[in-house]
Structure 1
Amino acid sequence: MFLHGTCRQNQHGHLEIGGVDALYLAENYGTPLYVYDVALIRERAKSFQQAFTAAGLRAQVAYASKAFSSVAMIQLAQEEGLSLDVVSGGELYTAISAGFPAERIHFHGNNKSREELQMALEYHIGCIVVDNFYEISLIEELCKESGYTVDVLLRITPGVEAHTHDYITTGQEDSKFGFDLNNGQTERAIEQILPSNHIRLLGVHCHIGSQIFDTAGFVLAAEKIFTKLDEWRESYSFISKVLNLGGGFGIRYTEEDEPLPATVYVEKIIEAVKANAERYSFSIPEIWIEPGRSLVGDAGTTLYTVGAQKEVPGTRRYAAVDGGMSDNIRPALYQAKYEAISANRIEEEHNTTVSIAGKCCESGDMLIWDIDLPEVKAGDLLAVFCTGAYGYSMANNYNRIPRPAVVFVEDGEAHLVIKRETYEDIVKLDLPFKTKVKQ
């Protein structure tokens, strides 16, 4: 059994997170419940930053807030001195509502709307990561109308495929994201931006995928980009001030996963940038990275209460919990795998094989297949680990199930940071349908 961060077994034989008993959390805040280990998030943030500090390089570590966005999480990112990535007007509005410094916000997305870009300009955010030709024209038009100027990075696809699930690879040539580095699209984009009086081209950005367990992809991406930077210096007198190599750093979901320490990813990126800058006689650009999952993923634990069970003789035993694909859609969407324990009976031998089913009306609503737990009883508290990324952010109201609450724990204290939705919340935007009265 592997316990992440500050998780441990306390004297009562219960799971404890951040010094707080999981049973206390369930009794006070209900289940399903997302619990975040704040100390682990802080530790991860510092480890990414310290690697750059030790190298004496200019850098920005931007939290990719799509992993988990809330006012409290954005405020925690600010406390830790991080920059911030947003990918929608909603995430941008959350950041501004949290008081996050606009100049440290970077706006991503492959189909930013006119309204979203206008919002970004009005808030004077630090950078827009431009994804396509339509967006360049739209930004130019909005800037001319308003008189604003804005810094941008060009998102490029360097033709590097990360070894990950097809749905979460983004750096290959056939991708909905960015300008292809190899077919002339990026050059056309540069030619469109450089003459502008309103758009300042800071540099380039790439993101090769997610849940990456080695550094080879980052090294290869850096090599491909610098080859092009050398050409663009000659062709356009353009020198990239910023090189953003994205995120995608893997975490440990199960025993089979073997991620590298955060410092190793950063050190290899720095080594690759330095080597290529020297090779082509460039000054070392400011390096940006975008950890999301690797900051919050394994800091999150979801607590569930066990309810019904079903035995299929000779085949499988099911234990259903009070959540499922409405609070964690990743197993259904990505075939994602997780580990779990009985949080109220850690000390008992986990010798009964069960499959954890969700309560949604879908055969595919399975959280974990075939996991060993103590003899399962109704009312048991199940803790599923590493749900901090893309759990709450992908949560939904399928079957009109309210989304869970979110609690931060640190140094023995628990803080409710997102309230549990109510049935009243579910229907508050609904409007009645009035039929015509028959004469």
Structure 2
Amino acid sequence: MSRYAHPAGPRHADVLPEEHPPAPPEDLHELDPRVWPGSAQRVDGELALGGVGAAALAAEYGTPLFVLDEAEFRRRARDYKEAFGGIGADVYYAGKALLTKAVAKWVHEEGLKLDVCSGGELSVALAAGFPAADLGMHGNNKSEAELVRALEAGVGRIVVDSFDEIDRLERLAAERGLKPSVLVRVTTGVEAHTHEFVATAHDDQKFGLALSTGAAERAVRRLIDSPHIDLVGLHSHIGSQIFDTAGFEVAARRVAEFLARIHTELGVTLSELDLGGGLGIAYVPGDAPLTPKAIAENLVSIVSRECRAGGLPVPRIAVEPGRAIAGPAGVTLYRVGTVKDVEGIRTYVSVDGGMSDNIRTALYGAEYTCVLASRVSGAEPMLSRLVGKHCESGDIIVNDLYLPGDLRPGDLVAVAATGAYCYSMASNYNHLPRPAIAAVRDGASRTIVRRETEEDLLRLDEG
């Protein structure tokens, strides 16, 4: 047995009575197609992505490194476009998941619209040449400068989130002689089955205007009466990492009832309904997300049924997948720095990144799949914890995983499904420069976001 191998038998339960780590997989080097990009494969034992080996990527771009499989990203975008476009629905890629100029261009080329939620994201989209008319803009606290930029650029849809924003937008639109198309973000009281900090449809939270308090109805009345704003529909978002459409069904019923009430009491038929995003992906082999086709069919069936019951025409539906497109297309490469055996418990594998490039484990208790990327090994599996290099005990990337017992400093490991909410939430904690993003496709790679340097950090520090 390797000195790093986890003790077998009853000792396992004795030393970890509460954590119950998973049993080791049959194959430590398997690349489950539900979790990894379609191009992921072993070539002479080494992980290759988009036809490019992990060692070559690490040598050219350094580590940590976000690797984005362009073909996988585009395929997933097309899957959503085909599934929803075929039923007359709109697909907005949620830029908050991952947005660069290259990503924005891919989204546009695949026929999707784009959702942004800040002035910075709007700047990236416009710099990439994305048509402003195909942009939607979110945000619970859009500044006056952000709204001015959105208005003057001609952003197609603005999702209003508060009465203060309605006041602000109405004034700015009137000053410019413009009439923006808006949706009201409605909180339906439906909470998806997910972590409380990413569940966004219960009433006691910062997003939207609640149905239960009458705030949503007051906002609709106010907007209908405004000569400077064109109210075109409603928006509802119920959470994140959702694996079924049960929550959408309850939310859609409540929104449809609201649409019927608007129609009956105010004589207005709103033509659009955006059901938001939050559609889940497989981070570990046990995850089982729905296909875009199944999601599209279920959502249209739900909305159609509820609208028919209310005597309403079916509005044009929109959805906002972000993670579902970008997440599985991304893989993070790390280089192992230390391998520390905590006798009788587990082995701590420290890599050259951490919570500055993946905060999701610390924030949400996220789970990930990780493999040895630079070689294969016949060593026994060792119970491990993949951790970063930051001065924080919560700097954990993968809580419980099995890696080969002969893992050593200098090895490369790869963490799957990191294309969404990793780079976009990255920080410079401990003054670590943020990693590069390299796109791979057909045996070639290119930089789409260069690695930050210490000089970049010092350039902002005026002393």
Flag structure 1 segments of 5+ consecutive residues without an equivalent: 433-439
**TM-score of the two chains, using structure 1 as the length reference:** 0.96
**Counterpart residue number, 2:58:** 26
Q: Give SS of 2:184's match.
A: strand
Answer yes or no: is the 8 Å Cα contact 1:213–1:259 preserved in 2. Answer: yes
Measured after TM superposition, the shift of residue 403 of structure 1 is 0.2
Distance in 2, Cα, partners of 1:278 & 1:289: 21
Tell me which amino acid in the other structure corresponds to 1:340: C
Residue among 412, 421, 424 paired with 1:393: 424
Larger mean Cα displacement after TM superposition, 171-180 or 397-406:
171-180
2:156 corresponds to 1:126? yes
**Counterpart residue number, 1:213:** 243
Distance in 2, Cα, partners of 1:287 & 1:192: 23
Measured after TM superposition, the shift of residue 170 of structure 1 is 0.5
Flag structure 2 segments of 5+ consecutive residues without an equivalent: 1-29
**Counterpart residue number, 1:311:** 341
Measured after TM superposition, the shift of residue 155 of structure 1 is 0.2
Tell me which amino acid in the other structure corresponds to 1:12: D
**Counterpart residue number, 2:110:** 80
2:70 corresponds to 1:38? yes
Distance in 1, Cα, partners of 2:376 & 2:92: 36
**Counterpart residue number, 1:234:** 264
Distance in 1, Cα, partners of 2:411 & 2:67: 17
Distance in 2, Cα, partners of 1:171 & 1:21: 42
**Counterpart residue number, 2:207:** 177
Matches for 1:132-147 after TM superposition, within 5 Å: 132-147=162-177
Answer yes or no: is the 8 Å Cα contact 2:182–2:229 preserved in 1. Answer: yes
Residue among 169, 184, 187 paired with 1:154: 184
What are the superposed Cα offsets for residues 194-226 of structure 1, whole Å, 9 maximum, x if unpaired? 111110000000000000011111111111111
**TM-score of the two chains, using structure 2 as the length reference:** 0.91
**Counterpart residue number, 2:43:** 11
**Counterpart residue number, 2:27:** none
Tell me which amino acid in the other structure corresponds to 2:426: A
**What is the RMSD of the two structures over their aligned residues, measured on CA atoms?**
1.2
Distance in 2, Cα, partners of 1:221 & 1:277: 13
Measured after TM superposition, the shift of residue 280 of structure 1 is 2.3
- Specify whether residues 350 and 305 from structure 1 end up closer, same or farther in structure 2 by C-alpha distance, changes over 3 A only: farther
Q: Give SS of 2:340's match.
A: strand
Measured after TM superposition, the shift of residue 34 of structure 1 is 0.1
What are the superposed Cα offsets for residues 239-266 of structure 1, whole Å, 9 maximum, x if unpaired? 1111000111000011232211122111
What are the superposed Cα offsets for residues 140-196 of structure 1, whole Å, 9 maximum, x if unpaired? 111122222100000000111100000000011212100101221111101211111
**Counterpart residue number, 1:275:** 305
Measured after TM superposition, the shift of residue 352 of structure 1 is 2.0
What are the superposed Cα offsets for residues 97-151 of structure 1, whole Å, 9 maximum, x if unpaired? 0100000110101000111101101101001000010000000111122222100
Distance in 1, Cα, partners of 2:99 & 2:372: 28
Tell me which amino acid in the other structure corresponds to 2:49: I
Distance in 2, Cα, partners of 1:209 & 1:129: 17
Q: How many residues align?
A: 430
Q: Give SS of 1:377's match.
A: coil
Measured after TM superposition, the shift of residue 275 of structure 1 is 1.4
What are the superposed Cα offsets for residues 352-374 of structure 1, whole Å, 9 maximum, x if unpaired? 22211100111110111231112
**Counterpart residue number, 2:227:** 197
Alignment identity in percent?
47
Measured after TM superposition, the shift of residue 386 of structure 1 is 0.6
Residue among 408, 424, 436 paired with 2:455: 424
Measured after TM superposition, the shift of residue 52 of structure 1 is 2.5
**Counterpart residue number, 2:80:** 48
Q: Give SS of 1:167's match.
A: coil
Measured after TM superposition, the shift of residue 5 of structure 1 is 2.4
Q: Give SS of 2:357's match.
A: coil
Q: Give SS of 2:460's match.
A: coil
Distance in 2, Cα, partners of 1:403 & 1:48: 30
**Counterpart residue number, 1:365:** 395
What are the superposed Cα offsets for residues 370-411 of structure 1, whole Å, 9 maximum, x if unpaired? 311122111000000011001100000000000000011111
Tell me which amino acid in the other structure corresponds to 1:193: L
Distance in 1, Cα, partners of 2:345 & 2:239: 37
**Counterpart residue number, 1:294:** 324
Distance in 2, Cα, partners of 1:345 & 1:352: 16
**Counterpart residue number, 1:415:** 446
Distance in 2, Cα, partners of 1:349 & 1:38: 34
Distance in 1, Cα, partners of 2:257 & 2:330: 40
Q: Give SS of 1:28's match.
A: helix
**Counterpart residue number, 2:23:** none
Measured after TM superposition, the shift of residue 349 of structure 1 is 5.2
Answer yes or no: is the 8 Å Cα contact 2:346–2:382 preserved in 1. Answer: no
Measured after TM superposition, the shift of residue 78 of structure 1 is 0.7
Q: Give SS of 2:139's match.
A: coil
Distance in 1, Cα, partners of 2:182 & 2:323: 24
Distance in 2, Cα, partners of 1:286 & 1:176: 26
Answer yes or no: is the 8 Å Cα contact 2:198–2:240 preserved in 1. Answer: yes
Answer yes or no: is the 8 Å Cα contact 2:84–2:91 preserved in 1. Answer: no
Measured after TM superposition, the shift of residue 336 of structure 1 is 0.8
Answer yes or no: is the 8 Å Cα contact 2:118–2:138 preserved in 1. Answer: yes
Tell me which amino acid in the other structure corresponds to 2:302: A
Measured after TM superposition, the shift of residue 347 of structure 1 is 5.7
Measured after TM superposition, the shift of residue 11 of structure 1 is 3.2
Distance in 2, Cα, partners of 1:431 & 1:28: 32
Distance in 1, Cα, partners of 2:360 & 2:366: 6
What are the superposed Cα offsets for residues 312-340 of structure 1, whole Å, 9 maximum, x if unpaired? 21222111100000100111111111110
Measured after TM superposition, the shift of residue 8 of structure 1 is 3.3
Q: Give SS of 1:333's match.
A: helix
